[in-house]
Amino acid sequence: MNFNDPTTWIDYDKDQQVSYRANILKSLIPSDVRTILDVGCGSGVVTNKLAADYDVNAMDISEAALERVECPKLCASITSIPFGDKSFDLVNCNEVLEHLNDEDLDRGASELLRTANRYILISVPHREQLNRYHCRCAKCGSVSHPYGHLQSFTEERLGSLFSKCFHLKRRLIYGPLHRDMPLLLLNYRQQVLNQWFSPQKGYLCPQCQSAIFESAQNLQTKLINGLNRLLTKPRPYWLIALFVRKG
């Protein structure tokens, strides 16, 4: 996913999942919140809904995404937030942390802790099985995650990022249902049968820019996928957590 490509943000919420998430987020915001910083706001699907009821500032690393944001905004990174300590009642960070490498994740969490006066509201995929979504380029063979996810979060791991100054007040696991796959089945399906995750149209291999990915479909892959449906239960995809400053 190329966040700097303007076409990425056209019909970004065509399935209305982000709008649904925005309504859930709003329901978790405490009544004493007046000011919000939305970190990694993307095209503003969530931000613009928040701005209808709160004093919101938005920031993102993509100038293309920010063009669609309808409140005060600036281009900046979560690793260096250009606001003072405890500047906002609540800092919102929605579907961002999973895109960060380990170093940036630590720096980003520190910046959220620094700029939030009372609350931090976080949304991430819940226990994402990262390799379940790996795709492999049919041209050069490189493997990538089409959504750029580098981190997987449990409730405990997410809480550990903020436990020094904040404690968990509320959490909600919800959203569209999806299935994991036992590692043995997943490896066999990918490495032997060559059925990898099929990325959305427009995704290009980060190494060679090819748009062709290995996603074989045959009787064996259908049997593997059917067996997985028997062995696993679907579970909600998202985790939202509201943290409150200690003391």
Q: Where are the domains of the chain?
A: 6-129+148-179+235-245
Q: What is the pLDDT of residue 13?
A: 53
Taking only the tens place, the pLDDT of each residue in 68-117 is: 899 999 999 999 999 999 999 999 999 999 999 999 999 999 999 999 99
- Report the 10 Å Cβ neighbour count for 209: 10
Q: What is the pLDDT of residue 202?
A: 83
Q: Is-contact 57 38, C-beta < 8 A?
A: yes
Judged against a pLDDT cut of 80, whether residue 236 lies above it is answered with yes
User: What is the largest distance, in Å, between two alpha-carbon atoms of the chain?
Assistant: 59
Q: What is the pLDDT of residue 20?
A: 79
**Lowest mean pLDDT segment, chosen from 12-21, 88-97, 216-225:** 12-21
Taking only the tens place, the pLDDT of each residue in 127-179 is: 999 999 999 999 999 999 999 999 999 999 999 999 999 999 999 999 899 99
Q: What's the full length of the chain, in residues?
A: 247
Return the closest-CA partner of residue 99 out of 124, 74, 117: 124
Judged against a pLDDT cut of 90, whether residue 17 lies above it is answered with no
Q: What is the pLDDT of residue 12?
A: 59
CATH number of the domain at 6-129+148-179+235-245, please?
3.40.50.150
What CA–CA distances, in Å, run from 223 to 145, 180, 226, 227, 229? Answer: 24, 16, 5, 6, 10
What is the pTM assigned to this prediction? 0.90
